[in-house]
Structures are given as C-alpha cells and as structure tokens.
Structure 1
Amino acid sequence: MSNRTCTVIESDARCPKKAGTRRMCDMHYRRWRLYGDPTVTRIRPMGALRQILLDAIATETDECIILPPKASRPTAKVNGKGMNASRAVWVLAKGDPGSLVVRHTCHRGDEGCINLRHLKTGTQADNLRDMDEAGRRVTGERRGGKCRRPTKLSERKAAEIRSRYQAGGARQIDLAKEYNVSQAVISSVVRGANWVPDGQQRNTAKVRSNTSPETRAAIRERWQQGGISQQALADLFSVGQTTVSRILHSMN
C-alpha cells in the first residue's frame, strides 16, 4: 500500500502531508475550494486591510467611512483575534475595551462605518438605547422586510397562545409544534416574559431553581389533584420543568 503525499508544490518543494481528496492535503484542498488555487493563502493581504483601519484612525473627515462589503458588518483580525472592524479600529487606536462594546454615534455600524470619530465605548445597555434611538431595534410584528431573522409569532398569535393555555387542555409542547416555535418561546409567552400586551408589565423575574419546603409540598399537592402537566406546574410556581420532575420523584 503506497503512502501518497500531497501533490502541491510550494517554494520548489512538494508538500509532505498525506494526500486526500484530489490528491491534496486537507489544507491545500480547503484553499482550492475557497480560492480556486491551493497555493493562495489570502485574497486580500492583511496588510492592506490593516492600512484601511489605520487610515480610519487618522482621518480628519466627519463623514462615515464604510468598509466593504456593505451587505454585512465587516470583520477584521487584531493580534490573531477576530472582531468587528469598528472594534478593531478602536483596539488599534485606544486599546482593548474589554467587556465594553464599541458604539456608533452615526448609527451606521451595521453598514460598516469604521471612522474613529464616530466610535465610542459603552455597555450593552447603552448600545440597545442607541438602537432604540435610531429605530434599528426591531421586535414583535415590527420585524420583517430587512430583518435577517423575522419572528414566527405576532401579537395576535401570542394572544391566542395565552388564551388557549390559560383555558387548559393545551400543552406547551403541542402549542410549540402548532406555531412552529420552541417550547421555551411558548413558555416565555404564557409567563409574560415576551409578547406582553400593551398596558401590561413585562415579567422579568428569573425562573427559580431553589425551592422552599413549602413550595415543594404545594407542587406535590397540586400534582396529586390531577389535570395539570409538569410544564404547567413549572409555570405556575416559576420553576423549571426539570425542578418539578425532581420534586415529584423525590421524597425530600
């Protein structure tokens, strides 16, 4: 049995790695698939991209500097770490902001603006407020059109889900299948964590995993009465379904 090696020759030397598809090693085969040439390592030299980022730092213009491609938020690498190009500009100019996010005063981050004059740091909460001010944060029925991941629910459907679940006889898992969403989404709707009707306060309470002896006793008592699922019990007592299952199968 012959030990075939890669047939690609670089720098006047044949690659010594084991050959696979098309008689190339995995590395050269991936290059061939990406670029059409197994010897090409990068279409655009990293030095060229770095120079664009440095120019964005030194610029004196107040106009947006859009880094192609415009179809998506561009990325770059600094010290071997991938990140959004705007963050890369900030890291090169001012250092790593750590847990802070890099915000855009021009509200054109999604388009690829990398002008340092338009960048500032802040928390994720600050970033969300920026999105609200710019009208870029879409939820509920306002999603659609240009949204990459449009929602499967609507206010009308959420109201139907709450009504049917509260009336009894409809399990969350069945509702999830019917509306083509996950059970977690259904749970968030019936608990009031998402798709909250106008005029009502959103339920931001976290599901509790630690339960008191009184709560455990109440869960067992309600289960013994019948006519309720474990998931419904979990929603009723604001605990996880796994917690309910453990309580029902334990004597503690």
Structure 2
Amino acid sequence: MATDKDVLAARIKAKSVPDGECLIWTGSTLGKHKYGGLKVGRTMLYAHRLSYELSKGPIPEEMLVMHTCDRPACVNPDHLVLGTQKDNMDDMYAKGRNTPTQGEINGKAKLTSEQVEAIRMRFVPYCRINGGGAIGREFGVTAQAISSIIRGESWKL
C-alpha cells in the first residue's frame, strides 16, 4: 500500500522533467522567482521544499532550502541544501547573482534616462504645469514616482 510520502514523491516526479543534472518542475509556480508549487490538501507548498523533506527529512523553521544549481524550478534533492538567509545572500554575492536592475535595464522601467533628466530639469514644486502630478500624467507614472525621482530615491543617474 502506498504511503502519503510515496504519493507525494510520485506527484513530484510526474510534474518534473530532466534537464542536464537538474529535475525541472513543470507544474504551477509560486512567487516572482518561479519556484514550483504543489497543492497538498488545501495548502500550496513549494515543490523544492517538499522534495527536500521527502528525501532528506524535516526543514528546521529558521532554515531555507537553497539550490546549488541556482535554478528555482529544480526539484532534484541532490541540488537542494539547507542554509540560513545569510548563507543564501552570501551564496548570491559569491556567484555574482546580485546584479542591480536599476534604470532602463530593469524590465519594468517605464522611463528612460533622458526622460528622467527632463523631469528633473522641469520639476517645480506645487506647480500645476510642472509639478509632480502633471509631469507624472504626461509620462504615465504616478506623482509618487516623480517625487522619488526628484528626491534621488530612484533613478540614480
């Protein structure tokens, strides 16, 4: 008779495909980093964490499951190790995965460097024509975004 653990392992296997040494999750994903998600009962769990638990045991509350292959969709237990948030950040910096995505290289950027320079040149506080609200409407961003640009909190050129 199959145990709950066997059933979950079979579900993970059914939703994964080999890619080199990795086992890539093809089911639903959770979060912006595209970690695999698997519904167990009424709860959505991260597939890589479940894979770790099924093969290596419980995950202490303060620990993360890190990918040695740096592929969030990988559920290969051989590529999963425990670490703290500090370990995870140290790993990110050591592997050069901390590349900033500011300015135009950010895929969500709505403005160009030239537009930001023009905004800074034109801005006049509380002005109906060249204030944050008016400029924001013209460039398709919020008054808060204009304010952040003016204060130097975003778009540090």
TM-score w.r.t. the length of structure 1 is 0.42
Q: Is the 8 A contact 2:35 2:48 kept in 1?
A: no
Which residue of structure 2 aligns with residue 246 of structure 1? none
1:156, distance to aligned residue in structure 2 (A): 2.5
What per-residue deviation string (whole Å, max 9, x for no partner) do you get for residues 125-158 of structure 1?
Answer: 94596287247763322234xxxxx321232222
Give the residue type in structure 2 aligned to 1:82. M
CA RMSD between the two structures: 3.8
Deviation, 1:97, is: 4.8
1:142 aligns with 2:142: no
Alpha-carbon distance in 1 for matches of 2:41, 2:114 = 49
Equivalent-residue separation in structure 2 for 1:90 and 1:155 (angstroms): 44
**Aligned to 2:10, which of 22, 28, 51?**
51
How far did residue 177 of structure 1 move? 1.6
Q: Is 2:112 aligned against 1:158? A: no
AA of the residue aligned to 1:179? F
Q: In the alignment, residue 195 of structure 1 is paired with which amino acid?
A: W
Query: Larger C-alpha radius of gyration, 1 or 2?
Result: 1
Contact residue 36 and residue 47 of structure 2 kept, 8 A: yes
Aligned-residue sequence identity (percent) comes to 26
CA shift in 2, pair 1:99/1:192, >3 Å: farther
Structure 1 gaps of 5+ residues are 1-46, 56-61, 145-149, 198-252
What is the aligned counterpart of 1:177 among 127, 137, 142? 137
Structure with more relative contact order (C-alpha pairs < 8 Å, separation 6 or more): 2
- Find the aligned partners of 2:62 and 2:146 in 1 and give their Cα distance: 32
Structure 2: 5+ residue stretches without partners: 1-5, 15-19
SS of the equivalent of 1:95 reads: coil
3-state SS, counterpart of residue 23 of structure 2: coil
CA contact (8 A) 1:66 1:114 kept: yes
Question: What is the identity, as a one-letter code, of the residue corresponding to 2:153?
Answer: A
Q: Equivalences for 1:63-82 in 2 at 5 Å?
A: 63-69=21-27, 73-78=35-40, 80-82=42-44
**8 Å contact from structure 2 (residues 132, 146) kept in 1:** yes
Partner deviation per Cα, 1:50-84 (whole Å, 9 max, x = no partner): 325489xxxxxx91111214995421135643133
Partner of 2:17: none
Cα drift, residue 99 of structure 1: 5.7
Residues 176-222 of structure 1: per-residue CA shift (max 9 Å, x gap): 2222123332222222122112xxxxxxxxxxxxxxxxxxxxxxxxx
TM-score by length of 2: 0.62
Which residue does the alignment assign to 1:115? 76
Partner deviation per Cα, 1:16-72 (whole Å, 9 max, x = no partner): xxxxxxxxxxxxxxxxxxxxxxxxxxxxxxx755325489xxxxxx91111214995
**Greater strand content:** 2
Aligned AA for 1:115?
A: N
CA contact (8 A) 1:162 1:190 kept: yes
Q: d(CA) in 2 for partners of 1:152 and 1:124? A: 32
How far apart in 1 are the matches of 2:100 and 2:7?
A: 33
Paired residue type of 1:152: K
* Aligned partners of 2:63 and 2:85 also within 8 Å: yes
Q: Is the CA contact 1:86–1:114 (under 8 Å) kept in the aligned structure 2?
A: yes
